[in-house]
Chains A and B, each alone.
Chain A
Amino acid sequence: MLFNSKIFLFAFLPVTLALFFIIGRTSILFARLWLIFASLFFYAWWNPPYVLLLLASATFNYWVGQTLQNDGLKKNGSRKLLLCFGLTFNVILLGYFKYFSFIIGIVTGLSGHKAADLDIVLPLAISFYTFQKVAYLVDSYLGKINEKSYLNYILFVSFFPQLIAGPIVHWSEVFPQFRDSRTYRVNGENVADGMTIFIIGLTKKVVLADEFARYANAGFNSAADGSVLTLVPAWLAALAYTLQLYFDFSGYSDMAIGLSRMFNVILPINFNSPYKATNIIEFWRRWHMTLSRFLRDYVYIPLGGNRAGLARRYANLLLTMVIGGLWHGAAWTFVLWGALHGFYLLANYGWRSISGGIKGGRVGVACSHALTLSAVIIAWVLFRSNDAAAALRIYEGMIGYNGAVLPEQILVFAPWLRIGFNGASSVSGLVDSTVMGTVVSFAMLGVGLSITLVAPALHQISKPVRLALVVISFAFAVQKVIFSADISPFLYFQF
Chain B
Amino acid sequence: MHKSHLVVAAVAAMLLVPAGASAQNYPPPGKPGGTGKTHGKGRTLTVCKKGCDYKRIQKAIDAASGKDTIKVKKGTYREGVHVIGKRYDGLKLIGDPKHPDRVVFNGKGLPKGPNQNAVIVNNADDVTVEGFHARNYKANCFFATNLQDYVLNHLVAERCGNYGIYAFNSKGGKMINSEAYYNPDSGFYVGQTPPQKGRKKRTLLKNLDSWGNVLGFSGTNVRYTTITKSRWFNNGAGIVPNVLTSEKFYPPTGNVISHNDVFWNNYNFYFGAPFKIPQISAADIPYPIGVGLLLYGSQDTVVEKNRISGNYLAGFAEVPAVHLAGNSDPKVAEAAILRDNTVRGNDFGAGNDLNGYDMAYDGSGSGNCFEDNTSRSPNMPAGTAAFPGCPGPNPNVEVAGALGQILANSLGDPKNPASFEAHWIKHPHPARKGVKPLEHYPG
| A, B in one complex | no
What is the interface of chain B, defined by CB distance below 8 A to chain A? none
